Amino acid sequence: MSEDNMFRVSRERVIEMLEREGYLKSGIVKRALLSVPREMFVPENLRKYAYYDTPLPIGYGQTISAIHMVAIMTEALDPLPGMKVLEVGTGSGYQAAVLAEIVAKMDPSHRGHVYTVERVPELAEFAKRNLERAGYKDYVTVVVGDGSKGYPEGAPYDRIIVTAGAPSVPKPLIDQLDVHGKLVIPVGDRFIQRLLIVEKKASGELSMKWGIDCVFVPLIGEYGWREE
Ligand code: SAM
């Protein structure tokens, strides 16, 4: 079997498992996870572990999230074709590719876009290379900066996802969320957080719903944690 086929079979197996365990609920998220080659978003020496459902190191003390966590967060975010999405915490670019698959690639008549902000310039470069190789370059804009301040240039966003743990919801992200928009963010202390799903009603009022406990690297920035 070719290497590509081996990765495809492993991808299908892990996604079947996530579906059985109830992490994957919607067809659209399942299709996106089946389409994005996670092996192209992990460092070369870890490619054989690409379909282990665990976070993997990507350098600079950072990680690509476990596959079930990407499934849970994407399901909670509820992205749809044509939407404009902001991700804070690009890392490897994998989550951005999953989102781009849904909002921009899957349905050519609905061309949405993903903006993703990363504070470590070397990781932003790593993500750009990965996104280009995997065929997502035209659907994702990678920005280097402090994503706790959002990215006003692309606002307002239909969806905002933060893939680093924050002490509270950064106000700029609320301001940059469109009405009827959804924001998913891990909130807690530096070591353990709980997913928070925020929705902005037509009146501008916010509804908040807590999800599962999770463990993310800290969101470092003006509206996040201080660098230690
Ligand atoms: N979504 C990523 C992926 O698919 O590989 C995984 C994200 S990793 C768990 C968290 C990332 O958030 C790290 O790359 C870290 O450098 C980044 N980060 C932390 N604070 C940030 C900030 N204020 N702005 C932008 N990125 C930040």
pLDDT at 219: 98
- H or E, element range at 182: strand 177-188
Report whether pLDDT(82) > 90: yes
Residues 45-65: tens digit of each pLDDT: 999 999 999 999 999 999 999
The residues with which 185 forms a beta bridge, in sequence order, are 196
C-beta of 39 in contact with ligand 1 (< 6 A): no
Q: Whose CA is nearest to atom 9 of ligand 1?
A: 63
65 is catalytic: yes
Backbone angles phi, psi at 6, to 5 degrees: -60, -45
Residues 194-219: tens digit of each pLDDT: 999 999 999 989 999 999 999 999 99
Name every residue whose Cβ is closer than 8 Å to that of residue 128 and which is 6 or more positions away in sequence.
93, 137, 142
Give the strand order in the sheet containing 157-162: 140-144, 113-118, 84-88, 157-162, 177-188, 193-200, 206-214
pLDDT at 51: 98
Report whether pLDDT(228) > 90: no
Residues 83-134: tens digit of each pLDDT: 999 999 999 999 999 999 999 999 999 999 999 999 999 999 999 999 999 9
User: Does the global pTM surpass 0.80?
Assistant: yes
Residues 125-182: tens digit of each pLDDT: 999 999 999 999 999 999 999 999 999 999 999 999 999 999 999 999 999 999 999 9
Cβ(61)–Cβ(217) below 8 Å: yes
pLDDT at 1: 81
pLDDT at 170: 98
* Residue 226: exposure state from Cβ atoms within 10 A (0-12, 13-18, ≥19): exposed
pLDDT at 4: 87
The amino acid at residue 3 is E
**Domains, the chain, with CATH or none:** 68-214 (3.40.50.150)
pLDDT at 18: 97
Spell out a b/e string for 121-153, using b for 16 or more CB atoms within 10 Å of the CB, else e. eebbebbbebbeebbbeebbbbeeebbbbbbee
Best residue among 88, 136, 173, 184 to mutate for probing ligand 1's pocket (most ligand atoms within 8 Å of CB) is 88
Rounded CA gap, 65 and 217, in Å? 10
Ligand 1 atom at minimal distance to the Cα of residue 222: 23
